[in-house]
Structure formats: C-alpha cells, structure tokens
C-alpha cells in the first residue's frame, strides 16, 4: 500500500507555509504601528524609550526597526524627537487595532480568561484571515444577542 495518511498536495502545503512566513514578515510592522497609535492616543506622543519598554527589547532594536518602518513609509521621525505615523501608518494601525480587539474579545467569549486572551491574541491576530475574522465577529454578535 502507499499512503497510510492523507497528505495535502505538495504545492498546496507549500502555499500554506508561505502564507505564514509572509504574515511573520509584516508582523513587527503591525505591532509597532498599533503600539505607536496607542501611545499617542493615551499619552500624546510615542517615544522610542516607551516602545522599547513596552515591547521588551532594547532601545537600539527600536531604533533599527523604526528606521525600517520609515523606509516602508509607515512612520516619521526626526533625530532625537518622538515618533509619528504617516497616513499609511495610521490606516494600518486602525485595521490592526480593530482586528486585535476582535480576536481578544472572541477568545473571552468562548471562555478564555481576560489575561490569557490578551496574551494569545497578540500572536494569533497576525494569522487570522478576513474570513476567519468574520467568523469571530459572528460569534461575538451571537454572544451579545444571547447575553
């Protein structure tokens, strides 16, 4: 016999893994713009030191990444000054923040405690397709109308 298990076709599986790798490439950018937007909303400005403390990385790492995000057109900053989002950065931040909240609230609705939901949402958010996000929203609405 050949084929004791049911494997996907090779190319199809390669596409799956490729999608995950692509999601990871945009992940850092998404987390940065979301955090920058949150800091500006809560404190009026986003400083590199705040980002470093909240991301749990060194300030040198933040400097490097911010340079890359400037190159990507998401962020603006002048030397020794705080960090701003471009229009593209603001748009991305809005989408990412919305998605983050949906994923987190969805986890709470299915019975995960708030802190764990926050933890898991931070990673899961980057791997949720439009379609899966819509399924999450349906569950959220159902729970609200039942609640």
Partner DNA sequence: CACAAAATTTAACCTAGGCTACATCTTTTA
Partner DNA sequence: TAAAAGATGTAGCCTAGGTTAAATTTTGTG
Interacting residue ranges for DNA, rule: CB under 7 A:
21, 24-25, 27-29, 47-49, 55-61, 63-66, 68, 77, 79-82
Burial class (CB in 10 A: 0-12, 13-18, 19+), 18: exposed
Cβ atoms of residues 52 and 46 within 8 Å? no
Cβ atoms of residues 85 and 70 within 8 Å? no
* Residue among 3, 71, 79, 147 that touches a second copy (CB under 8 A): 3
Shortest Å, Cβ 98 to a second copy: 14
Residues 85-124 that bind Mn ion (CB under 5 A): 100, 122
Cβ atoms of residues 84 and 48 within 8 Å? no
Angle subtended at Cα 103 by Cα 105 and Cα 58, rounded to the nearest 5 degrees: 110
* Residue among 25, 79, 80, 111 that touches a second copy (CB under 8 A): 111
Which residues bind to a second copy, rule: CB under 8 A? 2-8, 10-11, 13-21, 23-24, 31, 38-39, 41-43, 50, 53-57, 107, 110-113, 116-120, 122-124, 126-129, 131-132, 135-136, 138-139
């Amino acid at each position: 016999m050949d084929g004791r298990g049911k494997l996907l076709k090779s190319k199809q599986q390669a596409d799956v893994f490729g999608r995950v790798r692509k999601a990871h490439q945009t992940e850092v950018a998404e987390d940065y713009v979301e955090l920058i937007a949150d800091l500006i909303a809560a404190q009026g400005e986003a400083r590199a030191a705040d980002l470093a403390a909240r991301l749990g990385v060194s300030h040198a790492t933040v400097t490097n990444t911010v340079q890359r995000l400037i190159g990507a057109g998401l962020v603006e900053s002048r030397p020794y000054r705080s960090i701003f989002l471009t229009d593209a950065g603001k748009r991305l931040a809005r989408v990412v923040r919305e998605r983050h909240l949906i994923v987190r609230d969805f986890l709470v609705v299915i019975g995960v405690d708030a802190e764990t939901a926050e933890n898991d949402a931070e990673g899961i958010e980057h791997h949720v397709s439009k379609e899966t996000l819509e399924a999450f929203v349906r569950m959220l609405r159902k729970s609200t109308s039942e609640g």
